[in-house]
A and B are shown apart, each in its own frame.
Chain A
């Protein structure tokens, strides 16, 4: 055995604290270490070449690299040693940066001792390492996209155009998401539906896309490459093959309920399509509000009104099982409920609206036909106050982050309001104006300069009702004056929060979420579209608040990752998996229950002898089985019990022969 130890300076990160010379000296004295050296930046090309050269020159059989966390460069170094013929699992990384020099920068002597211990432990571990080969698993080259908003639509189209099959699952009866609710989009003021609906139709017509609307993902099993997904198709009670979307059923229906698409400001029937350009244009009966129940039919108006006889009260939920190799999460956002903003009268005064509600009032297909009216009395408001940062940038309300899009859409709202009500007054209360995108700043300046809208720098403290007006108490910090405005309507730019099913789906898929419920990416700068759960990709506002251009970009990026994954026909997985030691295993099966991935099963042989078996594809190498087993009957390859024992002995400076 000839172990080579390479110690990195990492510039000043490590060398600025630890005594590298001493580390090299001591490392060279360790058992079976044939060579020890140091270098400024081992991860750089010359650094890697140095390692490769020494492996060849000195015929090193094992390598220890003492540097930064393996999370940074484990793959880089593994590839480097593999190139010169050394099995990458005979390489061990000793973390002397994150776990040593960075945290003990004020105690360099003790830190150096600790680094020595870490290196010693790594040497001990690698001396018992065995060469391993990657495991190949079959790859189902189909993808599941969860979420039918613009993010899901874009990702689905990109992957489908790349030649692979896509299953697109959307919870509501139609594609479109929140973008379909918008009137116009900033900064171009394109009609939102006009740019969205062609995409929606493309999805519906695409031969590679299987569209499931009014459906939810109920269960996911397996891992990347071989997910088994159960989709529940909720019953529409309308046969999609027969429905022509004519609307006779809705005309006949006697039940009127608030329309979710209009944020509760408009009405729909119990049998409905969410909006006229819905895709698919198939009606749905909302059983909660329909006069009928699952077992009792009292009203058949829609059935009789329907020409093609598409109404079927006896439909049941259907479960559909599919197999996919990757999943794209594009579940989108919701707004912070108005009730959270009590000081603004949110949820109490009907004329205090959220941004989306105001958007519906502006929309030509909205509940008021595009005329801005007060929900309380239907009058046209002559003075509207827009309050930015309603909940965002507010740790006390639970959202310390910036919701990114509100400054822009508030400017858009103010401009559209002025166009709709030319003799109206608009006031915007802001703390900062964030207009960082392409042509965004110019748009905001246009709103201030051409539309002459007053932007007041300050937050509003209270909104209350006096007779039929809303009194707004705010401040303009630039002039140093507390201000009062008697408004007809107040629009709150409420904070963006992840949509309500994101948390449940994340749990199902074991995709991590952050403290606000947004999906976590592997690295915010360099890997923004991948979840740390392998095979799960992220797109859109479910990962963080973002506008439409960024959403579309991210969706295409997620699609490109999927296409990259699908470029091979099989998937290569790391061999850090559990291995059963058949000599020691007696089939007590304690490990079967502790496995979080259900990868272990008990096998009973013909002669009655019992032992366990590991499904390598499901195993994630977590080690719970190894920790539980009382008989040393199961080991995780690359982290065997003997290797771990050797590490501990080395740390405690005991004789390695013990």
Chain B
């Protein structure tokens, strides 16, 4: 199946507006993916997420697990040679999805039933719910 390329202005614009980053500054070197602590768990690599944004391929992005597994650890941002903040771009994609579909990624039912430090609860709910 071929990916039909067309300008996905709205989506890309929304993500760039939320994140304040220019996706075309990424030259796909992959250093982010190489250092990402969660890459072993992800289906798409972080640099592939940016690639899909560059190509305007929205569907694969909506269905991937990668953006939900991101831990916002900033390793990618610290290492990117072009100074692109992938952490912000990932957040941008997550928020763009939330603002359109308006439903959560996780629910409190799925959370572990043990005494967690509050920041774990707040962090998970902040990042993974609308």
Chain B residues, Cβ within 8 Å of A533: none
Q: Which residue of A lies closest to B75 (CB)?
A: A461
- Give which listed residue, B34, B36, B44, B83, contacts A458 with CB less than 8 A: B34
Nearest chain-A residue to B27 (Cβ)? Answer: A431
Number of interface residues of A (CB under 8 A): 23
Assess A395 versus B82: contact at CB under 8 Å? Given A431-B27, A482-B34, A482-B36.
yes
In the complex, B29 has a CB within 8 A of chain A: yes
Of A395, A431, A480, A482, most B-chain CB atoms within 10 Å: A482
CA distance A458 to B82 in the complex (A): 14
CA distance A160 to B39 in the complex (A): 61
**A459-B30 contact given A473-B35, A482-B45, CB 8 Å threshold:** yes
A395 touches B81 (CB 8 A): yes
B72 in the interface (beta carbon within 8 A): no
Question: Which chain A residues lie closer than 8 Å to B79 at the CB level?
Answer: 343, 461
Q: Is the CB of B31 within 8 A of A475?
A: yes
- A416 touches B (CB below 8 Å): no
The reply to whether the CB of A457 lies closer than 8 angstroms to some CB of chain B is yes
Query: Chain B residues with Cβ under 8 A from A442's Cβ?
Result: none
Which chain A residues numbered 193 to 230 have a C-beta less than 8 Å away from chain B? none
Query: A406 to nearest B CB, angstroms?
Result: 14
In-complex Cβ contact of B28 among A462, A477, A483 (8 A): A477
- Please report the C-alpha to C-alpha distance between residue A394 and residue B48 in the assembled complex, in whole angstroms: 20
Give CA–CA (A461, B44) in the complex, Å.
17
By a CB distance below 8 angstroms, the chain B residues around A480 are: 44-45, 48
Cross-chain contact of A477 among B33, B35, B39, B40 (Cβ < 8 A): B33
B80 adjacent to A473 (CB under 8 Å): no
A396 to B27, CA, bound (A): 14
Tell me whether B47 is interfacial, beta carbon within 8 Å: yes
Give chain A nearest CB distance to B31 CB in angstroms: 4
Tell me whether A616 is interfacial, beta carbon within 8 Å.
Answer: no
Q: Which of B4-49 contact A (CB under 8 A)?
A: 27-36, 39-40, 44-45, 47-48
Our pick among A389, A395, A482 for the contact of B29 (Cβ within 8 Å) is A389
Q: Closest approach, in angstroms, between the C-beta of B101 and any C-beta of chain A?
A: 26
Instruction: Please name all residues of chain B whose beta carbon is closer than 8 Å to the beta carbon of A43 when the two chains form the complex.
Output: none
Contact A462:B35 (CB < 8 A) given known A431-B27, A457-B30: yes
Q: Which of B35, B36, B83 has the most CB of A within 10 A?
A: B35
Which residues of chain A from 97 to 145 have a CB within 8 Å of any chain B CB? none
Q: How far is the CA of A343 from the CA of B30 in the complex (A)?
A: 15
**Bound-complex Cα distance A477 to B40 (A):** 14
In the A-B complex, list the 4 residue pairs whose CB atoms are closest, starting with the nearest: A461-B35, A458-B30, A461-B34, A394-B81
| 15 CB < 8 A contacts A-B | A389-B81, A395-B81, A396-B81, A397-B81, A460-B31, A461-B33, A461-B34, A475-B39, A476-B30, A477-B45, A480-B44, A481-B45, A482-B36, A482-B40, A482-B45
